[in-house]
Amino acid sequence: MEILSLAPKVNFWQDAEMKKWQSALAFAILLVLGALMAPGVNAHQGVNLSESDRTPARGPLLVDGTVSFAVRADLPRGERRGFRFQLETGDTLAVQLLIVDQPPENRLRSLALPRVTVTDPLGKVIRMVINERTKFYEPYGGTNYLYLSRVEKRAVAGTYKIRMTGRSSTPVETVVSVGYREVRGEVRD
């Protein structure tokens, strides 16, 4: 008994060439979709504080405090750094204190970790109390961090001031994360 096939006969080489084109097309589609679905390249825009940024007035101004910034400083005992950011009515104040999750920083007692204060536009001071050590992997830089403290509340419109003070004889790589929107932001000196 002979089985009849209604499928057209395809040359093996044509079939192989077609598969190459299909594979290439599928790969291109995946690349485009990956680029469209990936978080912005500017996520947690980095800002490095230098020795000249000893006070909020001397430090940089983050024009929009809803934009996600990661402000970094190496802080040994007695060293101070500062910066400012602005929020509008209806915005959310979102500030997190982190350190790199590596020795010796991750082994320091709370009293030896940097002290960070947030002063709102009305002059009210919020001390970021170290009340956690939650692990966080930051995929863009491939770095492990520990969350130490977080503040999130309704904002008062105006300029906020952040003061960071080192309390350990060993410099501690300190990150203060501000904001929550993953878009490009403006930094003024």
Regarding whether 149 and 175 lie in a shared domain, the answer is yes
- Name the domain count of the chain: 2
Regarding whether 51 and 34 lie in a shared domain, the answer is no
Q: Is residue 1 part of a domain?
A: no
- Record the tokens describing residue 120, joined without a space: 């709102």
Regarding whether 30 and 65 lie in a shared domain, the answer is no
Q: Is residue 4 part of a domain?
A: no
Q: Is residue 178 part of a domain?
A: yes
By residue range, what is the domain housing residue 61?
Answer: 45-188
Shortest CA distance to 186 belongs to which of 9, 45, 32? 45
* pLDDT band of 42, cuts 50, 70, 90: very low
Tell me the mean pLDDT in the region 125-149: 95
* pLDDT band of 146, cuts 50, 70, 90: very high
167 close to 129: Cβ distance less than 8 angstroms? no
CA of 129: how far to CAs of 10, 95, 116, 119, in Å? 72, 12, 8, 14
Predicted confidence at residue 10, as pLDDT, reads 52
Q: Is residue 166 part of a domain?
A: yes
Regarding whether 114 and 32 lie in a shared domain, the answer is no
Eight-class DSSP state of 163: E
Regarding whether 27 and 76 lie in a shared domain, the answer is no
Mark 65-86 as b/e (b = at least 16 C-beta within 10 Å): bbbbbbbbbebeeebbbbbbbb
pTM (predicted TM-score): 0.77
Q: Phi-psi category of 157—alpha, beta or left, where left has phi over 0 and alpha has psi -120 to 50?
A: beta
Q: Is residue 2 part of a domain?
A: no
Q: Is residue 3 part of a domain?
A: no
Regarding whether 87 and 34 lie in a shared domain, the answer is no
pLDDT digits over 104-132, tens only? Answer: 999 999 999 999 999 999 999 999 999 99
77 close to 155: Cβ distance less than 8 angstroms? no
173 close to 145: Cβ distance less than 8 angstroms? no
Q: Is residue 83 part of a domain?
A: yes
Q: Within 10 A of 23 (CB to CB), how many other CB atoms are there? A: 10
Regarding whether 110 and 31 lie in a shared domain, the answer is no
Range with the lowest mean pLDDT among 72-81, 124-133, 136-145, 174-183? 136-145
